[in-house]
Structure 1
Amino acid sequence: MDVNTEVNTICLAVDIKGTKTKKIEDIEIGEYILVKGPFWNGVLGLKHILNAKDGKSVVIARGIGMAPMMPVIKKLCANGNKVTIILDKGNYKDVFIKKLLGLYDVEIIECSTLIEGEITEELKELISKLIKENHINLIHCSGADILIYRILQYIGDDVTYSCSNNAKMCCGEGSCGACLLSYEGDKIRRMCKLQVDPKYVFERRRLI
Structure 2
Amino acid sequence: MRAPIVDRRTLQEALEIVSIRTTPKLAGELRLPGSFVFVRGDAAAFFDAPMAVLHASPEQGTVTFAYAVLGPKTQRLSRCGEHLWLRGPYWNGITGHRHIEGVRGEACLVVAGGTAQSLAPNVVRSLLRHGNRVTVVLGRPGALFCNPFLPADSQSLDVVKMHFPDDLASLGRLMRQLAPSLLFCGGGELLRGMVSSLASTLSAPPALAWANGYRMCCGEGVCGACLSANQGQPVRRCKALFDA
Do the two structures share a fold, i.e. TM-score over 0.5? yes
1:51 corresponds in structure 2 to: 102
The whole-number CA distance in structure 2 between the counterparts of 1:124 and 1:51 is 29
Q: Is the 8 A contact 2:103 2:127 kept in 1?
A: yes
Q: How many pairs were matched up?
A: 186
TM-score w.r.t. length of structure 1: 0.80
Q: Give runs of aligned pairs for residues 122-137 of structure 1, distance below 5 A.
A: 122-127=167-172, 129-137=173-181
CA distance in 1, matches of 2:116, 2:147: 14
Query: Is contact 1:62–1:113 with CA below 8 Å preserved after alignment?
Result: no
What whole-Å deviation, never above 9, does each CA across 1:16-42 have from its counterpart, x for those lacking one?
Answer: 1122212211223xx221112222201
| Equivalent-residue separation in structure 1 for 2:170 and 2:65 (angstroms) | 32
Contact 1:55 1:135 in 2 (8 A): no
1-side partners of 2:153 and 2:110: how far apart?
A: 13
Query: Given the superposition, is the C-alpha separation of residues 135 and 91 from structure 1 closer, same or farther in structure 2, using an over 3 Å criterion?
Result: closer
Distance in 2 of aligned mates of 1:6 and 1:176 = 35
Gapped regions of structure 1 (runs ≥ 5)? 115-119, 199-208
Is the aligned partner of 1:24 residue 2:73?
Answer: no
Partner of 1:166: 213
Contact 1:87/1:108 (<8 A) preserved: yes
- For residues 75 and 155 of structure 1, the distance between their equivalents in structure 2, rounded to whole angstroms, comes to 22
2:235 is equivalent to residue 189 of structure 1: yes
When normalised by structure 2's length, the TM-score is: 0.69
Residue 124 (structure 1) shift: 4.1
Change in CA separation of 1:64 and 1:19 when aligned onto 2, cut-off 3 Å: same
TM-aligned CA distance change 1:152 to 1:65, over 3 Å: same
Counterpart in the other structure of 2:222: 175
Q: What letter matches 1:134 in structure 2?
A: L
Specify every segment of 5 or more residues in structure 2 that has no aligned partner in the other structure, as ranges. 1-53
| 8 Å contact kept, 1:3–1:10 | yes
Shift of 1:161: 0.5
Tell me which protein shows more strand as a share of its residues.
2
Match of 1:205? none
Contact 2:175 2:199 in 1 (8 A): no
SS at match of 2:181: strand
Correspondence for 2:126: 75
- Indicate the residue corresponding to 1:6 in structure 2: 59
Shift of 1:59: 0.3
Q: 1:140 aligns with which of 165, 169, 184?
A: 184
- What is the aligned partner in structure 2 of residue 117 from structure 1? none
Bigger relative CO (Cα 8 Å, ≥ 6 apart):
1
Q: 1:139 to 1:104 in 2, by over 3 A?
A: farther
Mean Cα deviation higher: 34-43 or 100-109: 100-109
Q: Out of 66-75 and 95-104, give the one that drifted further.
A: 95-104
The answer on 1:96 being equivalent to 2:145 is yes
Counterparts of 1:171 and 1:15, CA distance in 2: 20
How large is the RMSD of aligned CA atoms in angstroms?
2.1
**1:48, CA displacement in angstroms?**
0.2
